[in-house]
Structure 1
């Protein structure tokens, strides 16, 4: 059982609300009271960090109550509460954080923000693993190559995207990430991908869509985007000649002429 025991009102209020939102069974006591029978985890504030010695103690940060609740739930589940982060790669990856079989957090963020989110969620977890789907080859390679501080597994994501009924638009990537998290993959340190002509063309088309002048970047810049060296916006800046990188390469007329 989880027990909340703190004199810090902010910690008490935010942790209790977070536990209620999760539908978690818990109880509360004053910090100087005896813990109830069955107590296995205590969530408290920094002022009582050393008060409870016979149970697992989680010291909550008043600015991040969710983290304390995640840790408490993982502790209650014991060895089955390992943190696994599933990622369905793409331009806007779905990210699911599991403690054992329970989904404790989910995100749907732009690719440029995904590494920060994953590293933050893995930061305080014991032996976390990140499982990334092998689809969306360029995006998955970028994530694998940038996540160098955590164990990464590449997962065959075949069949992980569920059927979505009416009213579930936008949930597919996150639900796929949950399924990916539950599949064991191959541990990888890096993923080298040679982009196909079709993938290069997709990047060019995407740059044209984002360009104020309806102009696409050239193939050299598109390959740097594919390799994760530049974002599309950074490549467009170099293409205009106002970026911090090297001078713009000559463009093919069919990709650079204004329409």
Structure 2
């Protein structure tokens, strides 16, 4: 059989069994307490149940895309010739997995520092390469600095000219769809491979960048806070987020206005 569905979650069982049948993959249906047959190579389960299953190869079912990971395990080789984890940098980056010009997964991250999904995708797709758009420099640098802490500054990244990758989309939350579609288009484009260190080095920040960031801080704080030029420079360099800079500025203002300090 090679595959067994082992879960107490009815939804997970329904998705897994349907997808396996569609792909003509035979499987065992097991309870969490059942003994695992000797010929099982992969357990398909839920995230909750996986913690209770003592088995070396487990695949968590979140949606139908689990089949791609399962086929990789069963074939014992790379299913795809090329796999790219493509990123559209910005305040809330769009991320997609593009394999042989096919879109496997898409995500919308909370911030440039929200890189856990990317690290998980690198583990899920061994040999995958990261592509990132050349725009939104401040957010791009911040994301790459976060990645460098885990992957190292010598890790190769494919830099892609993202001009024209973001479509016009109408409707509710169109901005989220735009970020995701832009990441897909970035994944489909050719780019130039460089090391992370080449994309995060340098400390040149223009006066215009600093003023724009200070103006942005006023907007985000509802007109109550304008961060200092020093903090705006740190934001421009990708060392801190603008939200973190606003919080630092708030603390400074509270300290400066504390009457106990003047005693």
Tell me how far 1:226 sits from its aligned partner: 1.4
Q: 2-side partners of 1:23 and 1:101: how far apart?
A: 25
Paired residues of 2:133 and 2:186 also in contact (CA < 8 A): yes
What 5-or-longer segments of structure 2 have no aligned partner?
48-59, 257-263
What's the TM-score, normalizing by structure 2? 0.70
Give a deviation string over 1:35-74, Cα, whole Å, max 9, x none: xxxxxxxxxxx9648625xxxx444352031474331255
What's the TM-score, normalizing by structure 1? 0.71
SS at match of 2:87: strand
Any residues of structure 2 matched to 1:1-259 within 5 Å, and which?
Answer: 5-6=3-4, 8-10=6-8, 14=12, 16-17=14-15, 20=18, 25-30=23-28, 48=36, 51-52=39-40, 57-63=41-47, 64-66=60-62, 68-74=66-72, 78-80=78-80, 82-148=82-148, 149=151, 151-164=156-169, 169-170=174-175, 171-187=177-193, 188-190=195-197, 191=199, 192=201, 194-211=204-221, 214-242=224-252
CA RMSD of aligned residues (A): 3.7
Change (3 A) 1:241 1:140: same
What 5-or-longer segments of structure 1 have no aligned partner?
33-45, 249-259
**Number of residue pairs aligned between Structure 1 and Structure 2:** 227
SS at match of 1:111: coil
Q: 1-side partners of 2:38 and 2:11: how far apart?
A: 21
Tell me how far 1:210 sits from its aligned partner: 2.7
Q: 2-side partners of 1:104 and 1:23: how far apart?
A: 20
SS at match of 1:216: coil
Tell me how far 1:152 sits from its aligned partner: 2.0
Tell me how far 1:215 sits from its aligned partner: 2.2
SS at match of 1:6: strand
